[in-house]
Amino acid sequence: MLNENLKIFFQFITLILVQIIVLDNINLFGFLNPIIYILFIITYKFDQNQTLFIFLSFLLGFLIDLLSQSSGANTISCLILGYMRPFIINSCFKINSNMPKAYINDPNISHRLYYILSIVLIHHFIYFSIVYFDINSLIIIIKYTFLTTIFSIILIWPLISFYRS
């Protein structure tokens, strides 16, 4: 149990540091920043305490916002995603949300891709909707969501193999 908690803590801190130190300094085409810290939300074990997970999702977003001096969009998007994750898992894998399942190890690659795409797309849409909080910016929100989702998934997909047991 202690070993598992240390692994979660190490993953949490590592993803925050990589996001802040390395990835926030990447601007592909002047506006695309990969967002991989949501890998924590993607890979967090489902049979753990959901209240703790929602708190950790909030803390993840809050620390990213605090360290990158942004206005809270990461906090809100991570908190909403932490709450929605059981519904997303149920939708993608067709499992009972109370049943522990190694969903990230599902042999069906389409289920895993659908799960990761859903998490990343929802996060990015919420994030950019908060950053560009204006109905006139809908095209920009959709464009940034789509392009950043592609860029993030290109980086997240190979990293998933490190978290598979």
132 by DSSP, 3-state: which?
coil
Which of 87, 57, 91, 88 is closest to 74 using CA atoms? 57
- Which of 95, 73, 87, 69 minimizes the C-alpha distance to 141? 73
Q: CB–CB of 156/36 below 8 Å? A: yes
Enumerate helices (H) and strands (E) in the chain, giving the number of each.
6, 0
Q: Which pLDDT tens digit goes with each residue over 23-41?
A: 777 777 777 888 889 999 9
Q: Encode the chain (165 residues) as per-residue pLDDT tens digits.
A: 678 778 888 888 988 998 888 877 777 777 788 888 999 998 888 777 889 999 999 999 999 999 988 888 999 999 999 999 988 888 887 766 555 445 555 567 888 888 899 999 999 999 999 999 888 889 999 999 999 999 899 988 888 877 655
- Enter the tokens of residue 39: 């890998």
Q: Is 114 left (phi over 0), alpha (psi -120 to 50) or beta?
A: alpha
DSSP state of 61: H
Give the DSSP letter of residue 46.
Answer: T
The encoded tokens of residue 17 equal 């540091």
pLDDT in tens, 41-59: 988 887 778 899 999 999 9
* pTM of the predicted protein model: 0.86
Residue 52: how many other CB atoms lie within 10 Å? 11
